[in-house]
Structure 1
Amino acid sequence: MILIKNGYVKTMAGDDIKNGQILIEGGVIKAVGMDIEVPDDVEIIDAKGCLVTPGLVEGHCHIGMWEEGIGFEGEDGNEDVEPITPQLRAIDAINPMDMAFQDALEGGVTTVVTGPGSANVIGGQFLAMKTFGKRVDNMVIKDPVAMKIAFGENPKRVYDEQHKSPVTRMAIAALLRETLFEALQYKEDLDASETDPDRRPDFDIKLDALIPVMRKEIPLKAHVHRADDIFTALRIAKEFELDITLEHCTEGHLIVDELAEEGKSCLVGPTLGSRAKYELRNISFDTPKILVSKGIKIAIITDAGVIPIQYLSMCAGLAVKAGLSEQEAWKAITINPAEIIGIADRVGSIEEGKDADIVIFKGNPLTDLGYETVMTMIEGQVVYKNSKTAY
């Protein structure tokens, strides 16, 4: 058993606890409070003067898919030779030895949602995983968690260079609709075959990969920067009655009233960067504040490796500087992405029964440039300890 005591605990499941205590047993949080009854032989971690938070959750990134410092040999996120590739699975490309996972631990990021890039109209399956381990199979929280789709500039550019479709937004939408219609038919035939074996379709790896989407077990994860692309993504999701999350949502602040009516979650970012392409001309750290003001659930993301994963808290801090409340910023990198992704039963807050993924900070990473990550814990195991601290 482990007891973390004397820290300022941000539970993200109610009020903060000054001089809080967290009891951990078997990798799980056993109790949280101010005066917990513990056995005499418990291991003590004294967090006096420190901030104790849930492990940070990155809701959209690509770490392990584009490995740090390697180049082509480590680039495994875009199979950009055909625009429809739902059969691709992130788990088959992620290298947990990628240096970005160590960066994540040093930044207090204990859970990431990672997967294919945005070259293709349908890119493949994302998964949610912990950031410590040697074998990705043992790090997975949920696989798959979403199906990546992409609109706008990226698939247009990739396939224009190859002189084949899609090179227009019309073609992107048409290809997506065609595939979803085929997947719907495939699903209907599969369902019917339970009572009528003659209806069983020939196996199709692409359409089979879309079955969890068609059954609304996982959402479409839509790469959308521009307002018009956001609306196209929503239009198609409605046509097929599918769940969807809006990724990047760069121009979300320009259409906030419409988005509030739609009630879909937005994963905002990467905002800490230049206007590297036309779709980013309206990029702003005001976006999180404006979306939250209308009741929209948001997560803040790095899109790592676009922005290094360890700067997730910095991105949240810059949103605070732009007017987002500090509490909403903490939610945007802990419990909100966990809820949006569908893994909040395990991560995102410090609550009894959840995984003991906990970070101890000296200083506040959202407001203090001089903060330090003292310790990062995943499932009760200390996976990073700052050599400059006494802990």
Structure 2
Amino acid sequence: MKANSILLTNGKIVPMTGETEFTGSILIENGKIKKIIRHTLWKESEKESETKAVLGRNGENVRVIDAGGNYILPGFIDAHCHVGIGEEIYQSEGDDVNEMTDPVTPELRAIDGVNPEDLGFHDARMGGVTAVFTCPGSANVIGGTGVVLKTAGRIIEEMILREPAGLKVAFGENPKVVYGEQKKMPMTRMGTAALLRQTLVDAQTYKGKMTEGKKDPDKLPERDLGMEVIGLVLDKKIPLRAHAHRADDIMTAVRIAREFNVDLVLEHCTEGHKIADILAETGYPAIVGPSFVNRAKVELKDKTFRTPGILAQAGIKVAIMTDHSVTPIEQLPLCAALAVKNGMKEEDALKALTIWPAEILGVDGRIGSLAEGKDADLVVWNGRPLDLNSDPVIVVINGQLIKSGQDEIKKQDVE
């Protein structure tokens, strides 16, 4: 009989719940963490009896895997990337990141461009990244909605954690360069801000007409998909995800979010370290990166791996991202390690890969920490995860064994 559950034993569990690490076992059933057992005084001679006690009567249906004293952590989360819509080995065929024909396209959805067979998902799994936020790019003032995905699945419907999960908007160089070349608005930062503000105002008007239309069908406006999405932002059902590198662009995003009383997530936040005290007062979280790149444009002049640590120290909730494929997604732990090298606390860096991005993305009820009832997305590392020499030796997503040793497990091998 093939096992339909997994028991990971003899692991150093780092739950990311505020508890310190401890030796124990994790029982996985039906894609969820069924039970976590602490073994503070576990002796090798007691392992067999302890395992039997955990398994109970159904032990014959459980696959027991010895973690070998290695570290067990929640799967890492890349809170900003373009995996699936920016396929690496293709050019125009696999590039669905930017719809550069109109600066205002809130109706676009990342889910309609994601290819689950993009090799980036394979790289993510093999690197211990079990969930991502993938989104349109920053060519447009309003680019469309992003989605939180697991990194395993045959079709996107098997991968979705939250959709929509945020509306991508962009400030700074990118929109003005793209549309300035077309001799159309926005050619300036003023134009970018004006287009975003006007769209938010238009959505407020649309919402008002929809309310009137419910009372009087004759006043019901023609359906507008873009306005419906902006309405989700105005109702605080999803945040604005604001691409902003420079400090002045960051503050423009803050100014507009406050004007319209909407939720905001600061993307990139490259110069956030310059205004960390001001940003801390806003309460808005920051997703920092990619820092593991060259200074490809002027806005990256002052990029530094010190930024996430400075922001976290100021009390800002921080996630570290790759912006894949700008930085390959499997290098997410390396980005966090370089942040630690540049002053970030190791505990904060691990939070910035697990529980903090889960909270920012609104999926912390399912992922981001190891707790009973949460999704069984976890990784066994053969050393401290932010050590350059460490590798993820076991990867579990949705309770399915995805990686063992250096190999990815084929689906038929775990059924």
1:200 paired residue number: 220
Deviations 1:289-320 (A, max 9, x none): 11111111100111111100001111011111
Cα pair 1:113 1:127 within 8 Å, conserved: yes
State which of 253, 278, 301 in structure 1 corresponds to 2:273: 253
Distance 1:251 1:387, change over 3 A: closer
State which of 31, 37, 59 in structure 2 corresponds to 1:33: 37
Q: Does 2:373 align with 1:373?
A: no
State which of 221, 241, 245 in structure 1 corresponds to 2:261: 241
SS at match of 2:55: coil
Structure 2 counterpart of 1:157, one-letter code: V
**Alpha-carbon distance in structure 2 between the residues aligned to 1:83 and 1:17:** 48
SS at match of 1:86: coil
Deviations 1:23-47 (A, max 9, x none): 1111100111215732232321101
Which of structures 1 and 2 has the bigger CA Rg?
2
Cα displacement (A) at 1:187: 1.2
Cα pair 1:12 1:350 within 8 Å, conserved: yes
Structure 2 counterpart of 1:128, one-letter code: V
Alignment of 1:69-108 (within 5 A): 69-108=89-128
Aligned length: 388
Cα pair 1:187 1:214 within 8 Å, conserved: no
**Alpha-carbon distance in structure 2 between the residues aligned to 1:303 and 1:2:** 33
Alignment of 1:181-330 (within 5 A): 181-330=201-350
Distance 1:119 1:71, change over 3 A: same
Kindly, what percent of the aligned residue pairs are identical? 50
Cα pair 1:8 1:16 within 8 Å, conserved: no
**Alpha-carbon distance in structure 2 between the residues aligned to 1:142 and 1:175:** 27
TM-score, normalised via structure 1 length: 0.97
Q: Which runs of 5+ in 1 are unaligned?
A: none
State which of 10, 19, 24 in structure 2 corresponds to 1:20: 24
Structure 2 counterpart of 1:372, one-letter code: D
35-44 or 16-25: bigger deviation? 35-44
Quote the RMSD (CA, aligned, Å): 1.3
Cα displacement (A) at 1:369: 1.7
**Alpha-carbon distance in structure 1 between the residues aligned to 2:327 and 2:164:** 24
SS at match of 1:24: strand
**Alpha-carbon distance in structure 2 between the residues aligned to 1:164 and 1:100:** 34
Q: Which runs of 5+ in 2 are unaligned?
A: 40-52, 409-415
**Alpha-carbon distance in structure 2 between the residues aligned to 1:116 and 1:9:** 35
State which of 3, 7, 10 in structure 1 corresponds to 2:7: 3
Deviations 1:92-147 (A, max 9, x none): 00001000000000110000000100000000000001001110112101100000
2:74 paired residue number: 54
Cα displacement (A) at 1:5: 1.1
Cα pair 1:17 1:33 within 8 Å, conserved: no
Cα displacement (A) at 1:192: 3.1
346-355 or 32-41: bigger deviation? 32-41
Cα pair 1:8 1:20 within 8 Å, conserved: yes
**Alpha-carbon distance in structure 2 between the residues aligned to 1:47 and 1:375:** 8
1:178 paired residue number: 198
Cα pair 1:110 1:378 within 8 Å, conserved: yes
83-92 or 41-50: bigger deviation? 41-50
Cα displacement (A) at 1:288: 1.0
Cα displacement (A) at 1:251: 0.3
1:159 paired residue number: 179
Cα pair 1:151 1:169 within 8 Å, conserved: yes
Cα displacement (A) at 1:388: 7.3
**Alpha-carbon distance in structure 1 between the residues aligned to 2:177 and 2:403:** 41
Cα displacement (A) at 1:51: 1.0
Structure 1 counterpart of 2:403, one-letter code: Y
Structure 2 counterpart of 1:101, one-letter code: F
Structure 2 counterpart of 1:381, one-letter code: Q
Q: Does 2:116 align with 1:112?
A: no
